[in-house]
Structure 1
Amino acid sequence: MSGIRYFRSIQVKLIIIYVLLILIAMQLIGVYFISTMKTSLTSNFTTNLNNQADVLASFAAEKLDARPELPSGDGQQTEEDLNSLVRNLFSVNEAEIQLIDASGKVLATSLSTHQEYVGKKNTSLAVSRALQGIRDNEEEVIDEDNVRKKIIAKPVVYDTKIVGAVYLVASMKELYSTVNRINRIFMSGMLIALGLTGVLGIVLAHTITNPIKGLTRQAAAVAEGRFDRQVPVLGDDEIGHLSEVFNNMTMRLRDALETNEEEKEKLSSVLANMSDGVIAADEQGTVIISNRRAEEMLGETCQGRKMSELLDMGEGQLAALLSGHESSSVIHRQQPDEDLDEVMRVTFTPIHRRDKGISGAIAVLQDVTEQERLEQSRREFVANVSHELRTPLTTIKSYTEALDDGAMEERELAQRFVGVIRNETERMIRLVTDLLHLSRLDSNQAPLRRQPTNVPDMLEEVADRFSFQLRKKSIRAEVKVENGIVNVLLDRDQIDQVLDNLVSNAIKYTLDGGRIEIAARMAEQSSIAISVKDTGIGISRKDLNRIFDRFYRVDKARSRNMGGTGLGLSIAREIVKAHGGSIALDSEPNVGTTVTVTLPALHEGGAAS
């Protein structure tokens, strides 16, 4: 295969082209030269024979004309003169000349070996034509020895009377030997020329193919992503210009790829760190790109999946999207152990490509669950506030109208009505106070006033503040503080409010004769954990996730009758968060509830213990 590949290379093709051009040119020149040379030699040979035949005919004309009139002795002398004339005058090698009388009889021959022909009649067609007065009698024959010979017959004319003929047979062996020698010389020259042409062709093809090989290697390197190499520019010719253009193209391609890679990295970084999910699909609706956030939101791998399956889209909606219509939709996904579905807003945008129309679509997924939760909380908050305010206002209005209708006349009844109005008014004041407190906490307008606080004393004082309620319900309270916990930097007023709320709730929901434990211990990461544990009615598991929501009550009627606003735990959570801590609630129905507040154990100087 490598040999076949080698013969397909440009270098070999160039060499073959050069050699074939030279070979064809030499062949054309050789054919023309040899043909012309052969024609010229043959023409000169024939002309020489004709000239000698004409000379011999002119010398022999008088003797042939006088020969029949001579006596026999003179006739014999004439034949000897003719023989002498033929031998001495004719100088062509390997040629025979015969003098023939008017009857066609051979009178003299130049070859001593053919003396037996003398006196015999020459029956050659050329002789017959010559004796008839035809001058141009030439022909070429090949004898039994395979030797080509030239035959010429000339009439001998004396005073317009044909008295005989000159018959000339000359071998053309030397002529053709000369032509063959010239052929061999030409073939030798042609082979030498072809050899030199091959060598020069290799050198010339090397000068052409070497830069091309360099360009090929550079192109392969560029295809592999290596742009640091340059093609050497070996001249100012077309290949040199090609090398310069290729080097320029390589640099521009490197810059373009670097820019593209940089943009790709930026895009990948943007997609990876987007808070929204992004899915891109081709014209068939198959996902080709997705970011990590999209897979987290959908909970499955997106690559290679159908967008319609992932996003619960109908085929009609997908077809409308791929036809160029932007659209958006909201997807609800049910979450286990959650009372609110996961809500995603999906915005679809078609991908337009130049000269190709729409080649796909992009879907941007936004998790609006929190927004939906906040909106639901806002609606519930407004409804709860309205309800909490409407109830005491309705009561106040009813009792005021009753007083106005004459109840004031009855002193005992009027005092009871006024007491109800006072209680409802105080309830509204507590509600508004709690709302204002929450508002200040939300807007960070309630700065912490940290001060060294003795934790054991703080817990004891909390228990003392509720001693009356505890005795009233025969509830036993116990304070436990782990050794080593003494002074901690806290906002005493706000933490007291948190503990009061937790102990108050524990007392409310603990049956008579129960037990409440207020404890403090060291927790992980240099923090202190304060817990309030009761043996009350507990909270069901379905209510645990929403127990800290504003206005959320497990038992709404009972809580309201006990004077609660439904904001205590919400305020407690915000206070604890402001301290950099956390609050957790663990409960089991009919067993009890434990609320744990974890606070950083800061001491004077701001350092944690």
Structure 2
Amino acid sequence: MTILLLVSFVLFILTILLLEFFQNYHVEEVEQSLQFEAQKISRILEDHSDMDLSLQIISEIVDEPVYALVTIENVGTFSSDGNKAYQQDVRELIEQSTVFSSVTEQQKSVQQELSVESDASSNRYENVIITGVPFTFTDGSSGAVYVYQSLEALQQTTEQTTRIIVLAAGIAIILTTIFAFFLSTRITAPLRRMREGAFEVARGKFDTKVPILTQDEIGELATAFNQMGRQLKHHLDALSQEKEQLSSILSSMADGVITFNRDGTILISNPPADRFLQYWYQEQAAGMNEALPPQLQELLLRVMETDEEQVGEVTILGRTFVTILSPLYSGDLVRGAVAVIRDMTEERGLEKLRKDFIANVSHELRTPISMLQGYSEAIVDDIPQTDEERKEIARIIYDESLRMGRLVNELLDLARIEAGHITLHYETLPVLPFMERVINKFNVVSKEKDIRLTIDSLLAKEDEWRFDPDRMEQVLTNLLDNALRHTHDGGIIQLTVSIEAKRLTVEVSDSGIGIPDEDLPFIFERFYKADKARTRGRSGTGLGLAIVKNLIEAHNGAIEVESNLNQGTTFRFQLPDKQL
């Protein structure tokens, strides 16, 4: 449409200019021809003294549609037009116009266009162009030659020229329309395809390709468009891979990572950071709706104010978190901060455990060493006077040395088990005979304390299980020894053996003093003793249950405890299928 409108406008202007040009051209040609004819007739009249001969010559050389009118002073008027009425009208018109006065009075050539009535009945006029030229005879008389021509013939010529020009303009418009459709096919259609391809790329389809139909500028544009799409897809794939890689790194990090905007809004957080925030939401009191703990908000505010890294600790629900906040820059402006949050609860617990371990070992060793040192000094100073006193001191020294040796051995066993340096020697043994052999070791002690020691089992004598007999005997020995030491005289200790869900289940139950509920979660820790006021004779090293738990877990089993204060305690452990 743009091309058609442009070409139509140009052709319209060009047609008007051409019509005006040809019309002016034809008029000028007629004027020049009439001027030439008038001058030629005036020369004939001046050169020939015979008027009749001159008029005859004039009649011969003047052809339609050109007519001549000769006026001679004191003689009359002669015309080449046979139409007397038309001749009279023209003469009157000439005499009334400025042409007559200019020629006769001023003796100069004049041209003028006049309107002459051609048909009185229809009141129709036609335009004529008149050229007047004065002449003078040899005898001094003068006259004038008026050559005139109707413009109807000129109008016909102009109309014919107009038809030709309009026809040429119509043909030009038709050719332009054909060219416009051709141009649309060659240029506009590929551009439309590229526009559609651009919309597809804007919607995220970066593999969109535009067909390359030509090798010109449009073809080069299509090639550049396809290359741009490939480059965009490559860069976006690279960005997506980097984003996935960063997301995987953040998700797999053990430390929490939170990215903050400058106003404190959380932008990115990984799973450990989400758990940290969840702890904070759980700790908040009812009615509070703080997004961050106050300590973390204070650290974030200091980072924004000082543009420096800040380190602090946050305690939530009894857990300790160390937080490091670093500023994020956009040019020279701090646009936010990133916080790395590390849960130090286990490390602090291990540190406390290490300190407690050193304190407990020191406490456990200090008493026997002090007793050994004291009784040894008594012997050196010859304080005991009788053999019985010496034997008593020697027995005490022997018992304390055994206690120290037992403590050291248990520490070494526990250290080896926790370090994974222990090797289990599995054997397939009958269960009941093994249990009876272990429990028989405690018959003497149980009879002395009047404690009934029994086995309850539905297993047959030939039922077998696969385990390390030495380590399992150590487990049962520790559990039975604890039960005997914490059961009152006349109590009951029962060993129950069964198979449940393809797992060997062993229970050691006693009717002893029991364990307080607040101590149950910690009884498998090293050096932990529930009865703080327990006498030395009934107190162990506090390592036995820790060793039991590690040995059961080394067998891929599990152990649990149930206890009611002053009603008894039950230790239950399970070993996996003997086929495993």
Instruction: State how far apart, in whole Å, the 2-side matches of 1:29 and 1:223 are.
Output: 46
1:32 deviates by 4.6
Instruction: State how far apart, in whole Å, the 2-side matches of 1:49 and 1:239 are.
Output: 61
Where does residue 348 of structure 1 map in the other structure? 325
1:284 deviates by 3.7
In structure 2, the CA distance between the partners of 1:256 and 1:118, relative to structure 1 (3 Å rule), is closer
Where does residue 99 of structure 2 map in the other structure? 126
Q: Equivalent of 1:298, from 271, 277, 290?
A: 277
Q: Equivalent of 1:99, from 57, 61, 70?
A: 70
In structure 2, the CA distance between the partners of 1:592 and 1:141, relative to structure 1 (3 Å rule), is farther
- Does the alignment pair 1:481 with 2:454? no
Q: Secondary structure at the match of 2:384?
A: helix
In the TM superposition, what are the counterparts of 1:537-552 in structure 2 within 5 Å?
537-552=513-528
1:169 deviates by 4.0
1:296 deviates by 3.4
Instruction: State how far apart, in whole Å, the 1-side matches of 2:320 and 2:558 are.
Output: 28
- Residues 89-146 of structure 1 show CA distances to partners (whole Å, capped at 9, x for unaligned) of 54342x664333447x963343311576799893432211211233132222345645
Q: Secondary structure at the match of 1:448?
A: coil
The answer as to whether partners of 2:260 and 2:268 remain within 8 angstroms in 1 is yes
Instruction: State how far apart, in whole Å, the 1-side matches of 2:344 and 2:229 are.
Output: 48
1:333 deviates by 1.7
Q: Equivalent of 2:360, from 384, 407, 411?
A: 384
1:148 deviates by 2.5
Q: Equivalent of 1:171, from 150, 158, 174?
A: 150
Instruction: State how far apart, in whole Å, the 2-side matches of 1:390 and 1:409 are.
Output: 27
- Residues 284-315 of structure 1 show CA distances to partners (whole Å, capped at 9, x for unaligned) of 4322333334323433799xxxx993454454
- Residues 233-255 of structure 1 show CA distances to partners (whole Å, capped at 9, x for unaligned) of 22322222222233333333333
Matched residue type, 1:589: L
Instruction: State how far apart, in whole Å, the 1-side matches of 2:91 and 2:294 are.
Output: 129
In the TM superposition, what are the counterparts of 1:118-157 in structure 2 within 5 Å?
122-143=95-116, 145-157=124-136
Could you tell which deviates more after superposition, 367-376 or 182-191? 367-376
Q: Secondary structure at the match of 2:533?
A: helix
1:408 deviates by 3.2
The answer as to whether partners of 1:106 and 1:118 remain within 8 angstroms in 2 is no
1:383 deviates by 0.9
The answer as to whether partners of 1:106 and 1:122 remain within 8 angstroms in 2 is no
In structure 2, the CA distance between the partners of 1:165 and 1:300, relative to structure 1 (3 Å rule), is farther
In structure 2, the CA distance between the partners of 1:59 and 1:245, relative to structure 1 (3 Å rule), is closer
1:400 deviates by 4.0
Where does residue 520 of structure 1 map in the other structure? 497
Instruction: State how far apart, in whole Å, the 2-side matches of 1:533 and 1:118 are.
Output: 155
Question: What is the Cα-based RMSD across aligned positions, in Å?
Answer: 3.4
1:562 deviates by 1.5
1:46 deviates by 1.2
Where do 5+ consecutive residues of structure 2 fail to align?
118-123, 282-288
Could you tell which deviates more after superposition, 467-476 or 492-501? 467-476
In structure 2, the CA distance between the partners of 1:42 and 1:265, relative to structure 1 (3 Å rule), is same
Where does residue 54 of structure 1 map in the other structure? 39
In the TM superposition, what are the counterparts of 1:77-92 in structure 2 within 5 Å?
90-92=62-64
Where does residue 284 of structure 2 map in the other structure? none
1:506 deviates by 1.5
1:435 deviates by 0.9
In structure 2, the CA distance between the partners of 1:301 and 1:122, relative to structure 1 (3 Å rule), is farther
In structure 2, the CA distance between the partners of 1:47 and 1:162, relative to structure 1 (3 Å rule), is farther
- Does the alignment pair 1:436 with 2:445? no
Q: Secondary structure at the match of 2:572?
A: strand
Instruction: State how far apart, in whole Å, the 1-side matches of 2:477 and 2:297 are.
Output: 60
Q: Equivalent of 2:312, from 329, 336, 359?
A: 329
Q: Equivalent of 1:44, from 29, 32, 37?
A: 29
Where does residue 121 of structure 2 map in the other structure? none
The answer as to whether partners of 2:487 and 2:513 remain within 8 angstroms in 1 is yes
In the TM superposition, what are the counterparts of 1:69-84 in structure 2 within 5 Å?
none
Instruction: State how far apart, in whole Å, the 2-side matches of 1:119 and 1:219 are.
Output: 81
Instruction: State how far apart, in whole Å, the 1-side matches of 2:141 and 2:327 are.
Output: 115
Where does residue 507 of structure 1 map in the other structure? 484
Instruction: State how far apart, in whole Å, the 2-side matches of 1:543 and 1:581 are.
Output: 23
Where does residue 210 of structure 1 map in the other structure? 189
Q: Secondary structure at the match of 1:257?
A: helix
1:351 deviates by 4.1
In structure 2, the CA distance between the partners of 1:118 and 1:191, relative to structure 1 (3 Å rule), is closer
Instruction: State how far apart, in whole Å, the 1-side matches of 2:116 and 2:535 are.
Output: 149
Q: Equivalent of 1:317, from 299, 312, 317?
A: 299
The answer as to whether partners of 2:300 and 2:325 remain within 8 angstroms in 1 is no
The answer as to whether partners of 2:459 and 2:497 remain within 8 angstroms in 1 is no
The answer as to whether partners of 2:34 and 2:148 remain within 8 angstroms in 1 is no
- Does the alignment pair 1:580 with 2:574? no
The answer as to whether partners of 1:348 and 1:362 remain within 8 angstroms in 2 is yes
The answer as to whether partners of 2:260 and 2:337 remain within 8 angstroms in 1 is yes
In structure 2, the CA distance between the partners of 1:162 and 1:154, relative to structure 1 (3 Å rule), is farther
- The count of residues paired between Structure 1 and Structure 2 equals 562
- Residues 132-191 of structure 1 show CA distances to partners (whole Å, capped at 9, x for unaligned) of 233132222345645332132222212494522233443212212212321221012112
- Does the alignment pair 1:260 with 2:239? yes
Instruction: State how far apart, in whole Å, the 2-side matches of 1:114 and 1:491 are.
Output: 152
Instruction: State how far apart, in whole Å, the 2-side matches of 1:160 and 1:510 are.
Output: 181
In structure 2, the CA distance between the partners of 1:86 and 1:508, relative to structure 1 (3 Å rule), is same
Instruction: State how far apart, in whole Å, the 2-side matches of 1:187 and 1:403 are.
Output: 147
Matched residue type, 1:326: E
Q: Secondary structure at the match of 1:309?
A: coil
In structure 2, the CA distance between the partners of 1:415 and 1:589, relative to structure 1 (3 Å rule), is same
Where does residue 242 of structure 1 map in the other structure? 221
TM (normalized to structure 2)? 0.86
TM (normalized to structure 1)? 0.82
1:433 deviates by 1.6
In structure 2, the CA distance between the partners of 1:37 and 1:248, relative to structure 1 (3 Å rule), is same
Q: Secondary structure at the match of 1:554?
A: coil
1:203 deviates by 0.4
1:48 deviates by 2.0
